[in-house]
Structure 1
Amino acid sequence: MFVRTESFKEFIRYYPVISTIIAIHIVLYLLTALPIFPPGWLMERFAGVNLYIVNGEYWRILTPIFMHSGFAHVLFNSFSLILFGPVLERMLGKGKFVLLYLTAGIAANLATLLIEPLTYIHVGASGAIFGLFGFFASIIAFRKDLLSNENKQLIITITVIAVIMTFMQSNINITGHLFGLLAGFLIGAATLKK
């Protein structure tokens, strides 16, 4: 279920939403890494900066979901999306998957705005990806029939490890991770109950 066997072309055809999100990640990362714009120009305009959000730059609630702070950051989040997103894109369909992903990411960023100081700056798809983990947790809680026992154990293990790692690494938006996870779970709870 979480092992990818498709060719590159098949993956793009089967999972167009995930492919588009990853393409956006890569393009934005390259635009920040290559000397196309002045250093920091894109980050200054699209990173989540709480002070700028409260002063009316509301797009910063959405744009941090697609921005990343370095190659390892974009690689890890894109790889996580490749592993765990396809199951949900197939299960939910393109529209509902986009809604889940963006809603979890926006919820994570809104929680960050409400809880963290005005000087707090954040980027990354982690809140949205934790939303996918939360949705899987709701499947395990409310619709056990949709996943095999092996996949349930894998999801629980990876989610627990991801939450633990959230608290063990520096420069992690703990608020974003936890509220993305919660948002994904609540979306699942609202939509999966029989």
Structure 2
Amino acid sequence: MFVRTESFKEFIRYYPVVSFIVLIHILLYLLTVIPAFPSAWLFETLMGVNLYIVQGEYWRLVTPIFIHSGLAHVLFNSFSLVLFGPALERMLGKSRFILLYLATGILANVATLLLKPLTYTHVGSSGAIFGLFGVYLAIVLLRKDLMSSENTQVILTIAIIGVLMTFLQPNINVTAHLFGLISGFVLGSMLIGKGRQY
């Protein structure tokens, strides 16, 4: 379930949504580091800035999901999506997976807006990634038939480590992580009713 054995072409064919999101991550990162491109302008336009959101720049509730602050940041989040996204894309279907990913990321950013200072700025897809963890927790607790006991142990271990690391690492948007997880659990509990076993 969490071990990728597909070739590159097979992965793109089987999991087009995950592949497209990772492509967006990489392209936006490259655009923010190309010297000839107005990278600072792009980054500043897409990042989450609470003050600008309350002034009407509502796209900043969405765009931070896809932009990252450095190579390690984009690689870690993209790797997490490649690892944990495919099973849910297959289980939920493309449309419901897109809905869930965007919704959890946006809700994490809304929580950041409501609970963090107006001066707070943020980027990264971690809220949406934790949303995926929340869906897996909903599956573990509400639809055990959809996942094997081995995979249940894996996802519970990773979710616990992820939450612990949220509080131990510096410069982490704790609010986005926690509310991504919570929104993923709530939305996941509504979306997994017709999920396919993996």
Query: What range describes the TM-score normalised by the shorter chain of this pair?
Result: over 0.9
Q: Which residue number in structure 2 is paired with residue 146 of structure 1?
A: 146
What letter corresponds to residue 140 of structure 1 in structure 2? V
SS of aligned partner of 1:53:
helix
Matched, 1:74 2:63: no
Paired with 1:118 and 1:192, the residues of 2 have a C-alpha distance of: 36
Paired with 1:43 and 1:156, the residues of 2 have a C-alpha distance of: 34
**TM-superposed deviation, 1:39:** 4.6
**TM-superposed deviation, 1:40:** 1.7
Paired with 1:191 and 1:83, the residues of 2 have a C-alpha distance of: 20
Matched, 1:15 2:15: yes
Q: Which residue number in structure 2 is paired with residue 84 of structure 1?
A: 84
Q: How does 1:25-104 map to 2 (within 5 A)?
A: 25-104=25-104
Q: Which residue number in structure 2 is paired with residue 112 of structure 1?
A: 112
SS of aligned partner of 2:106:
helix
What letter corresponds to residue 127 of structure 1 in structure 2? G
**For this pair of structures, how many residues does the alignment match?**
194
Query: Structure 2: 5+ residue runs without aligned partners?
Result: none
Query: Structure 1: 5+ residue runs without aligned partners?
Result: none
What TM-score results when the alignment is normalised by the length of structure 1? 0.98
What letter corresponds to residue 35 of structure 1 in structure 2? P
What letter corresponds to residue 65 of structure 1 in structure 2? I
Identity %: 69
What TM-score results when the alignment is normalised by the length of structure 2? 0.96
- Counterpart contact for 2:126–2:177, Cα < 8 Å: yes
**TM-superposed deviation, 1:37:** 2.4
Paired with 2:69 and 2:135, the residues of 1 have a C-alpha distance of: 26
Q: Which residue number in structure 1 is paired with residue 126 of structure 2?
A: 126
Paired with 1:188 and 1:39, the residues of 2 have a C-alpha distance of: 36
Runs of 4+ in 1 over 4 A off after TM superposition: none
